[in-house]
Structure 1
Amino acid sequence: MGQKKKKSMILLLSVLLILAAVYFILQSWNKSQEKKQQAKEEAKQVYLTDIGEVKGIQYDTGSGDMEFKKEGDVWYYAPDMDFPLAQSYPKKMAEEFGHLKAERELKDGDSLEAYGLTDPVYTVVLKDAEGKETTLYYGSSTGDSYYVTVGDTKKVYTVSNTTISDLQYSLDDMAQLDTFPTIGSGNLKKEIITKDGKTTTYDSEKEEDSKNIAAVAGGLGAVTLQKVADYSVEDKDLAQYGLDEASRTTVEAAYTLDKKEKTLTLYIGNTDADKNRYVMMNDSRIVYLISDEVCKNILNEE
């Protein structure tokens, strides 16, 4: 390569390096400006609450009180600590209400009554780690917002109507139900049924049991855990569902999942007025309702 070509290549490379450096500097500057702008916007933002850690949430949406409390890292439904509460619901409420963002503050406004705040639509009480309570009152709605005041401050703000969306869930909606495994004739290895002290076994390794395995696998594959009769049954109440040890039918199903052998234990009890059977699984305290037809298939009954 000639000297002229070498000089041209070096010059071109130098130009490219300079352009790359300029591009990097511009990118960094733009990001810096964006951060400054975000910081300015954040500084202007008004928050109605600033609670380090929310440890308690209580609210009334007109259909009764709901109360949750946090112990350690776990949220509980306060009236029934054994209720299987899905953690995502109270966590989201704590995040939303612990740092509740205002859209605007009303200056020189009317009386609280004019905004529906003397008879609030919603009342939310938050408790922090020291036990201090903060009360939010939601008044009338206006467009996509609600009028809100905090405690007895008499300052009125508007907040987005989406902030109360988490309060619309029923307790049933917030239940963390069990996950029933996927079982079919392809992965069911054995089913053992114990009733009234008698045991029946269906084994996939036995050719004479192939039809029985297919039948019971069909029943297990049709189970859906959707209807609940009791979310946290106590031992003393098991008999009313026919799920006490003396009355229930026990099904132990051995199956494979990801090449590992697993065991499902299912307890089947009485039939209700709608021809559903009361059912529990493994060590769960939730009593489910499953159709009698599906249970008959699981038990290989006519």
Structure 2
Amino acid sequence: MTWNKNTKVMAGLLGALILLVVVYFGITAWNNKQQEKKDAKAEAEKIYVTDVAEVTEVTYDAGSGALSFAKEDDDWHYADNKDYPLDQSYVKTIADTFGKLEADRELTDGDSLADYGLEQPAYQVQLTGSDGTKSVVYIGNATGDYYYVTVDDTKKVYTVSASVVSDIQHTLEDMTKLDTFPTIGSGNLTKVEITENAKTTVYDVSNDDDTESIAAVAGGLGAVSLDTVAVYPDQELDLAKYGLDEAKRITEKVTYTSDDKEQTYTFYIGSEDGAGNRYLMVQDSDIVYTITTAVCSNVLNQGE
């Protein structure tokens, strides 16, 4: 094979390119190795005051009474009522944070526990692991952006980020998983059945005479937001007090399409609360909400 000048140049450039690629990957690998060493060193220097493998029970008291939760089949539930609609994210965060709680530093040659607010701690969190291991974190006074803590009966004092305290400053109501109201509008609402005093009124999209009524109801349904709670599941509920007992409530069943599938959704409208709202409950739910009377009028096609 005869090599001309251009061929030699191309071969040289190709060789240089290969060398650059080799150098690049070599430097990248070296940098990654160095970063791994830094990360390992940083992790080794961290101080963890707890190490509870797979937390399965959590009890915490933030000053307003103890709340207990247990985990079964990867799901958390409220210990006093397994059927309580619990937002999993709150308890999961507590378990993850306190199961392996990182401290900023350990105090040495410190004062007595009382001086840090740990003789009568403001907060405490008890954890139980899948192996039965229990650990209790006691949280005392704040110091800047940190809190003093001690664990079990070690009497060792640490400081932890104040952010961990915010994780346990939630009431059971805060952790309630609220019902969701479907996205319904004039484009996907197909049928409405409203029952009041044993009389049922039906609006159907297939009936041209119901076009305006369907549009009015759809506008109301699109404005419903289940975010204002009047009664939570753990509170005593007298349905008649809210006009939600079977004798007084208005039942509305809506049929709509979602993802090309026909769906139904049933809810109940109760009495007025005296502040421009009416009570609402979703079928099979124990939570009472309020929605404005204006939205309610459209939902029931009672607009002027």
Q: What TM-score comes out, normalization by structure 1 length?
A: 0.91
1:179 Cα offset (Å): 1.6
Q: From the superposition, tell whether residues 252 and 50 of structure 1 become closer, same or farther in structure 2 (CA, over 3 Å).
A: same
Alpha-carbon contact 2:173-2:232 (below 8 Å) kept: no
- In the other structure, the counterpart of 1:22 is 23
1:4 Cα offset (Å): 2.0
- In the other structure, the counterpart of 1:276 is 277
CA deviation profile, 1:181-220 (whole Å, cap 9, x unmatched): 2222232221111223221111222222222222222221
1:135 Cα offset (Å): 0.9
Q: Which moved more, 1:122-131 or 1:232-241?
A: 232-241
- In the other structure, the counterpart of 2:45 is 44
**For 1:84 and 1:177, how far apart are their aligned partners in 2?**
7
**For 2:203 and 2:183, how far apart are their aligned partners in 1?**
18
Q: Which moved more, 1:224-233 or 1:46-55?
A: 224-233
- In the other structure, the counterpart of 1:290 is 291
Alpha-carbon contact 2:52-2:133 (below 8 Å) kept: no
1:62 Cα offset (Å): 1.8
- In the other structure, the counterpart of 2:107 is 106
**For 2:97 and 2:302, how far apart are their aligned partners in 1?**
52
- In the other structure, the counterpart of 1:93 is 94
Does residue 211 (structure 1) correspond to residue 212 (structure 2)? The answer is: yes
State the identity as a percent. 53
Counterpart of 2:226 in structure 1: which amino acid?
L
1:73 Cα offset (Å): 1.1
Counterpart of 1:6 in structure 2: which amino acid?
T
Q: From the superposition, tell whether residues 233 and 253 of structure 1 become closer, same or farther in structure 2 (CA, over 3 Å).
A: farther
**For 2:213 and 2:143, how far apart are their aligned partners in 1?**
63
Specify every segment of 5 or more residues in structure 2 that has no aligned partner in the other structure, as ranges.
none
- In the other structure, the counterpart of 1:227 is 228
Matched ranges for 1:74-223 at <5 A: 74-223=75-224
Q: Which moved more, 1:239-248 or 1:132-141?
A: 239-248
**For 1:276 and 1:245, how far apart are their aligned partners in 2?**
20
**For 1:198 and 1:234, how far apart are their aligned partners in 2?**
32
Q: Aligned with 1:278: secondary structure?
A: strand
Q: Which moved more, 1:10-19 or 1:123-132?
A: 123-132
Alpha-carbon contact 1:60-1:123 (below 8 Å) kept: yes
Q: What TM-score comes out, normalization by structure 2 length?
A: 0.90
**For 1:58 and 1:76, how far apart are their aligned partners in 2?**
12
1:25 Cα offset (Å): 0.9
Counterpart of 1:229 in structure 2: which amino acid?
A
- In the other structure, the counterpart of 2:254 is 253
CA deviation profile, 1:227-273 (whole Å, cap 9, x unmatched): 22333389995444443444432211112234332222122233334
- In the other structure, the counterpart of 1:55 is 56
Aligned Cα RMSD in Å? Answer: 2.3
Alpha-carbon contact 1:136-1:150 (below 8 Å) kept: yes
Q: From the superposition, tell whether residues 95 and 220 of structure 1 become closer, same or farther in structure 2 (CA, over 3 Å).
A: same
1:157 Cα offset (Å): 1.0
